[in-house]
Structures are given as C-alpha cells and as structure tokens.
Chains A and B, each alone.
Chain A
Amino acid sequence: MTSFSEYKRRVDSGQPGLEADTSVPKDARAYQGHRAGFFSRSIAAIIDLLSVILIVVIWNLGAAFVRMLVEHVQGVEIPKLGWSVAIGTILMWLVWTYAWATTGRSLGMHIMGLRIINYSGNRVRLPVAALRSIFCIVFPIGLLWVIISPANRSVQDVVLRTSVVYDWVVGLPRICSGPPLDTA
C-alpha cells in the first residue's frame, strides 16, 4: 500500500498519480501498452470482417425487399457475389480508415482491447490509416508475420511504422484541481 506521503511525492515529482490506467483490471496491467500478439489481432480482424459481412447482407436484403415492393419482383433476388464482395471491400476500407484515424481502434479492436499507434505512440494520421487499411485488405497474410517477428509486428506495421498495442484503458472522469465551474 502506498502511503499518502509517497503518493504526494510521486505526484509532485511529475509522475502520474491517478491515471485512467486504473480502469484496466490488475491482471491486464502488465500487458497494457505492449504490442499485441497474433491471436488477439486475428480475432479483432475477424470481428471487423464479420461486422462488414453482416452490414452487406443486411444491405442486400434491404435492397431486395425494396425491389420486391417497387418493381414487384417475385421472391427475393440475391445480387451477384462479386458486387457484394466489392461493396464489402470498400466498406471495410472505409471503416478501418475512419476507425484507425479517429479513435485508433475498430469495433473488433475495441472488443479485444487493442489500439493502433504510430511510430511516436500517437494516433495514426488519415493517409497512413487509409494506406494501412488497403494493405491489410490486399495482403491479409501479412498478419502472420506477428508470429515470427521478435517485436510482434505484422508486415503492415513494419512497412508503415505502426504498432498494435493492448490498450484496455477506458477514459474515466477524475477529480481535477482546476478552478470551479461557474454555475451562476
């Protein structure tokens, strides 16, 4: 147990006192901020893929239903697989690009507690996110390099100088010593 005087010394010396990192369960704190392994990243990618497939299926069903109502087509016509794949690919690219460039994590990565950061540990920029997204779609096998890499990096990470890290931190409100809010 840290005494208050030790805590105060730590805070006064500029080290973090209470940080959002306390939102991370104690078992996972040892992994926080370290590059993630193959399994977590694969699961995250599969969740993203399945979510996009689900969206495409719902889109197709919706489109078929509208056609049935408007054009009075008998039964539900399923569009060609090629179109669905193309739409899914574009959707996947857009979803990953937007997610990585904004929050640094897609739905699958959020579920698995992962985040993409750049070479300086910050959020990746939009062009890098877009490029990485294309790279991942075109060359998904690049993820296998995580197994071999001594630093848990995929081919995409090596080329674009990015990292996928464990990040379970959830932003929690903390008590600030700033001026009180003007409630008048």
Chain B
Amino acid sequence: MREDRGVSEATEVIVFEPRPGSGAANPLGAVIDISASAMFALFTVAEQTVSSTVSTVANSALVNSALDKVVPYAVNAVIGRMNLTEIVLDRVDIDAIVAQADLEKIIDRLPLIDLANYIIEEIDLPTIIRQSTGGIATEAMNSTRMQAIDADDLVQRLADKIMLRRKARKTDAPGDLSEKFAEEAP
C-alpha cells in the first residue's frame, strides 16, 4: 500500500486455488468454489476501494472545510429539536458523576470567605449575638434611644409646623455614615 498526499492506492492479488481433490471428484463443485472465491475477492476489492475512496474524500481539505461549516449547523439543528436537559436527567446518573467528583477542588474554587460573610449578613448574626448576649441593659438602652429618636421627630415636626416649613429637613451628615444608609433614608 502506498500513500501520497492523502491519496492511497491498493493492489490486490487474486489467486484462485481449487481445493485439492475436489475438481477431479466433482467438477461442478470446483466451479462453484472458484466462483465463490472470485465473488469474495471482488467484494473485498470493492469494499477496500470504497473505503479508500471515502477516506480520500474525507481527508481532502475541501470536504473538511465543507464539513466544518455543515456539521455545526446540522448538530445545532438536531440539538435544537431535542430536550437535552430531559435526556440527561433521564439517562445520566448524575449522582454517580457527583460521587466521583473531587469536592476538595470544587471547595478550593469557592469564595468561602464571601460565602461566610454573606450568610452572616443574611441571617443577621449580629442581631442574634446582640439578642443572646446583650441582655436587658442593651434592650433598655436601645429602647431609650428609639424613644428619643421618636421624640426628636416629634419636636422637629412641631417646629416645622409652627414655622410653616414645608421642605423636609436635610439631616444628611458628611462622611460615610449617611452614605452607607442612603437608600434607607427616612
């Protein structure tokens, strides 16, 4: 076999060998054997020629470029008509895949500190700590402060009403303290 720039040529040598003794005993059988061997050889040659031709055609640059363009469209068209999620859920054992996954590598990739801070913020851990450790004194102080704030509001409203002031007071203070809670301003 010789290959030259992707094109291969095959040479087949067909040898007809009648089975020993069969021709003398049964000439018809010898003819059938020879015919069968010839047919087999022809089929073999044909198959190899076809596969060689297909291989040659498939390896050619033109066909490759055409396939590069056609195959993605064809695959997309096929996939577009299929519910891959459903197929995967039906046919793939996800638990088995997950069981073999290296969790430590996944954990290494997770932003654990951010996750921890996020959970602390979401569950309002400081409030839980405050409630569990603050005790009556803290509660009383917070209550006093809130009552004082309410009294501040009352005094402000009264004063504004007496002075016929319509605009709300600008109580924003400079610095981060007010910016931090800008979206929650009263």
Contact = CB atoms under 8 A, between A and B. Distances in A.
Interface of A: 1-2, 4, 7-8, 11, 16-19, 21-23, 25-40, 43, 111-113, 115, 117, 119-122, 147-148, 150-152, 163, 165-169, 172, 174-177
A2 B117 CA distance: 12
Given A2-B121, A11-B117, A33-B178, 14 more contacts: A4-B118, A18-B117, A21-B180, A21-B181, A22-B120, A33-B173, A33-B177, A34-B172, A34-B173, A39-B151, A112-B144, A117-B177, A147-B159, A172-B129
State the main secondary structure of chain B at its contact with A: helix
Given A33-B180, A112-B148, A175-B120, A38 B173 contact: no
Nearest to A8: B114
Contact of B146 (A28, A43, A172): A28
Interface of B: 111, 113-118, 120-122, 124-127, 129-130, 141-142, 144-146, 148-149, 151-156, 159, 163, 165, 167, 169-181, 184-186
A9 to B, nearest CB: 11
What are the nearest 7 A-B pairs in CB distance?
A121-B175, A37-B152, A33-B177, A33-B178, A39-B151, A34-B171, A121-B174
A172 B141 CA distance: 18
A117 B148 contact: no
A39 B146 contact: no
Nearest to B150: A39
Contacts of B116: 175
B173 A163 contact: yes
Contacts of B167: 150
A111 B129 CA distance: 19
B178 A18 contact: no
A117 B18 CA distance: 114
A37 B149 contact: yes
Contacts of B181: 21, 29-30, 32-33
8 contacts: A1-B122, A4-B114, A33-B172, A35-B171, A43-B148, A112-B148, A151-B171, A172-B129
B149 A28 contact: yes
A154 to B, nearest CB: 13
Given A37-B156, A174-B117, A150 B169 contact: yes
Contacts of B122: 1-2
Contacts of B149: 28, 31, 37, 40, 166
